[in-house]
Amino acid sequence: MASEVHVEEGPFGPEVRPGGTRVEQTVLYLHGDPRLAGSPQDALPTARELARATGYAVLCARYRQRFPEALEDVYAAWEHCRGRGPAAVAGERLGGALAAGLLLRLRDEGAPPPSCAVLTSPLLDFTLDAPSLLLNAAADRTVDAETLPVRAAAYAGVTEPRNPLLSPLHGNLHGLPPLQLHAAGTEVLLDDALSFATRAAHSGVAVDLRIYEDAAAQGIRQVGAMSEFLRAWSGTSQHRSAVFSPSGV
């Protein structure tokens, strides 16, 4: 697709735009790191790859580091993207929680949904009782499982951990747009992705679940799969019911 891209600063965060091509769609990209922190600039390497591979503009949204203010910021950024035409949403770790929370809020409000959504190693359950948090703690060197509860509690504040907008895994998943989920088989958040994909599929949502043998394999193959998925559902309003077998294992 586009070989050259450039970064523009905007009111909602930096935006990567492909050069020399007509932008068909915008991707709202929500950053996240293993410390539940980070900044929009952390997402720029992935955003550049996505913009090159798809020809889409990728907005790396800025949001506050607490709930529900973070979701309000993401909602405002989404309104900005949607106002320009067809748009999708993607999020990583905490950004994945915000992306999924945005989908639930838009659905409940009866607002037009994104064309599709991509969730990468998402944190989708703030009760933090998934078995993989313990089983993969030694194998996942990107996340400190001991400090994760402290950071999660600081982000959630007084919000009840099972609130669906905070913990989308506990929400009603009917009526969501097509979803692609990525996770490594060795990471502590593996079960969040697996459980969300299963519940979404049972709710009639089109789901493409990608599980990789480890983080290195995920890093190599993930952006290519994301790009294919985003382009496959570009501007699509029809939400087909389909379940794709996990791949990359």
Contact 102, 78 (CB under 8 A): yes
Please state whether 202 falls in left (phi above 0), alpha (psi between -120 and 50) or beta.
alpha
- Report pLDDT for 239: 42
- Report pLDDT for 1: 54
Q: Give, as one character, the DSSP assignment of residue 42.
A: G
- The pLDDT tens digits for 134-153 are 999 999 988 888 899 999 99
Question: Does the reported pTM lie above 0.85?
Answer: yes
The domain of 165 spans: 5-247
234: pLDDT confidence band, cut at 50, 70 and 90?
confident
Mean pLDDT within 7-32: 90
- The pLDDT tens digits for 75-130 are 999 999 999 999 999 999 999 999 999 999 999 999 999 999 999 999 999 999 99
Query: Greatest CA separation found in the chain?
Result: 48
Mean pLDDT within 228-245: 64
- Count of domains observed in the chain: 1
Provide the edge-to-edge strand list for the sheet that holds 179-184. Answer: 5-10, 13-18, 57-60, 26-30, 87-92, 117-120, 179-184, 207-212, 243-247
Shortest CA distance to 229 belongs to which of 135, 75, 117, 73? 117
CATH code for the domain in which residue 52 is found: 3.40.50.1820
